[in-house]
Chain A
Amino acid sequence: MSPSPATSPRAALATLAAELAGALRGQGLVVDPASVAACAEAWAFLGDTLNGLYWGARQTMVRSVGEFPAFDAGFAAFLGWTTPADDDADAVPTPIPTVHVAGDEVGGRLASRGERLAGQDIATCDEAERRDIFRSIAELRLTAPRRVGVRQVGARRGHLDLRATVRRSARFEGDLIELAWRRQRRRARRVVLLVDVSASMADYAEVLLRFGHVAVRAVGAEVFAMGTRLTRLTPLLDCDRPDEAVARINQRLVDRDGGTRLGASLECFTQQWGARGLLRGAIVVIGSDGWERDDPALLGRQMAEVARRARRVVWVNPHCGRSGFEPTAAGMAAAMPHCDALVDGANLTGIRRLNRVVAAAMAA
């Protein structure tokens, strides 16, 4: 089974590979011409067994484990085995790792009113209870461990930078006259919070905005509102009192409680802010119930983009704590495969958990 020098089998394989690429694109995969060529080349080495065709194509055309189901569907369609699977089967999200955080339960000690409220859905709370919950959120401590990075930068003090020192000493015939120093750069991961402020989130958005206030004050997070368009909230949240911050937002945010265009808002975010490097290595928290007015495919693509650039993507959904929760909202189903963690955003316990998840991700 050595590669044939004749060009016609090669050309036939290339045609076949291009055909498969078409079927895969039909499943939403991105297949570039170089992958098609690589696939044809691989097939030439593997011979025409079914195993060879399958592995040769998957290993050259797919770049992520998350794309395997789409690949399998496209491959089957290419072989003419089945019609492309209908949407129901496709919508099954790949399982996302559960977040395990120890110490969620409040122990048997005297629980304050806030503690008793911890598990209660914020939408069912009266005004006094909501204020208690808001106070508890304001008391959250989000500490960013300023990790000492391994990477070093030039500095006035720190460790001796031998490479630079040797270079300088050559000017003085080997005498160490000028010393160069380096020190380790300190840095913390950036936190980006995107809050859905549409009508369906009316009861829950404020909790997340108050968490945003904590995050802005504690670790310099960036906070954006997603409604019919994208609005940067960071400057509004950067004040001492959370009530004042929320009042400023209510006053300024005109598209509050309208429809949601999650995909378009995210696209705006990745293009305007992501392009400037805000997403690189960041912890991205998205607070939304996943109800999308537009085509969920756009949201899926944008989430993939966010997931590619960010370090961790955490989705906070106020409905996911309910028993029997399935990501049925089209937007949620499209977004789930790209999330690292899913956190309940309906009550104080969920927000505390979010706080721990973010803190843990910053340290990781």
Chain B
Amino acid sequence: MNKFFAIGLDSSKSDFINALMELGCTELNSQESKLADEEWAALVSKEGGEADIAALETKLNAVDNVLKTLDSYDTAKKPLFKSRRGISASEFASAVAAQDDIQQDVDKVLALSNHLKELQANQNKIETAVVGLTPWAAYQVPLEIQETRYTNVVMGIVPADTDVNAMRDALAQATDKCELEAIGKDDTQQYLSLVYFKEAEDDISEVLKQYSFNRLSFKDMSGTVAENLSAFEAQTAEIAADMSKTESELSDMVAAKDKIQVLRDYLATEQDKAKAIGNLLRTGRTFYVDGWVPASCGEALNSLAAEHECYCEITEPDKEEDTPVLVKNNSIIEPVESITDMYSTPNCHELDPTPIYAFFFACFFGIMFADMCYGIILTFFGFFCVKKYKLEGTARKLLTTLGYCGIFTFIWGALFGGFLGNMISVVAATFFHKEVAIKPLWFDPISEPMKMLAFSCIFGVFHLFVGMFAKAVMYIKEGKILEAINDTFIWYVFIIGLGLLLFGGSLFSGATTIGKWMAIVGAVVILILPVFINKGIGKAVGLWNLYGTTSYLSDILSYSRLLALCLAGAVISQVFNTIAGLAGGSGGIIGVVLFVLISIVAHVFNFAISALGAFVHSARLQYVELFGKFFEGGGKAFNPFAKKTKYVKIIKEEN
């Protein structure tokens, strides 16, 4: 990764940025920090252009909203995975040329969806009003009449448990100048109409208060309740018709979705461009930009700068400087980068761990999931999805990785003799009363768990040694040979020695003695070496390092999960098969159907839970045990300035 800066004439600014975007292999730095520097600030100012960016942002938001709206009216079946549609550059260009037409579609959808929202609001309003009016359906007086010359006409409510007759009597006692009528009643309230002479106001108010009479009024309405209700009904029907019409128009607009997606991507790239231009530093007639470019693209950048009459200089960064990181691997290993990315991008001073652990990840996954049938399904699923949905980016990488894991699952399944657990034996015993078993190519971990445990630990030691070797390589690259020996090679001697000392007896005679001497030599060197490497108190650090043996022990034991998960998956399969076999043994067609049903449900469940377990634990073995030996991470991924589209992939045409 190299640094570059370019200075050019103001007139070619926008062309240059355009070309950089097409090239798509430079990362532009933010120039804010330079403006804080007085020397820079005296010479240059920021290009700005916030208004353009904001205008594009508004447009982009509108288009995004429109796409969201159209999505909800799109009845086409949604694919399992989203992928970008490929279109040719000329198609894209012609769509951009017709952007005014597309914008009209966008505006139309916006207008329609706004209209729909209005209609919904109206509908809600009417519904509320209808709910309020319905109990008054029997009220005959037009609602606008609230008083006459001598009387007040009042509507009101009292609680449901009020005795209206008693209330009427009480009113009659207070004055004879009023008339109370019950209009309706529901669970909580009674609806009353009251007419009284204005002069009797004082006489009745006491009684009304006593019966907690609450006045209501429908000031903004006119006509009788029945008239109002029927008018609302008509309005509701009208709104419903309008709504369904608007919705069908919106559904028709779904056809324009593809074009609008192109517009959206165009606007997004324009906005990115505007932001890049806004970020430039400028003097009166020139502009300045700097950033990062991968060494392999330097040539292309130079010629591009020359074309646009820019001065461009590419320099190597200082050793200490943190640069963005672009990871490059061959096409087989590259998908596994997704597992590295889940942990962290490597930092710019260390090795990319992907090629180191890619094999182990799939292999350990395979051991834990080991089953031929599961392996075939997983492989097929992974590669099929990538092909079928033309996946890109992380989804493609992850599914391809799963495909690899599937291959190893099949291989280990064959080695351990698993096909849906012991499905074949169970089917043979249940339906054909014969004894058939798949012979494992290597051995059956269920019947020989100790052997499997030993091999798990041996795989683990090998895995750890590879990690330590990577550390040694990094030391040697920096010329620190002694450190490499101290951290890696002497530990090889020590750990192998300990292993031979403890378990070597069963391998060959004399192994214990060899192991003893290897362990002793290893321990002594581990104690002494830091004296030559470190200064001061650090000379005694060997003692502490030797104590690190415990961490190696726990690391190695951690690999016993290879055995545990392998057993869990296989035994659970067998348990399910046994249950299915019991059901199938009941005989006849029903038995077969039950057997198939139980097997499918059980194995789908076991597949899901075991695959998840295998993935997580295989990842953990890489992240914790392997990465702990040499990998730090925390790098910043190279983020090139390029066309970042969401819906369409622009395919350049060969001329």
Q: Indicate, yes or no, whether A interacts with B.
A: no
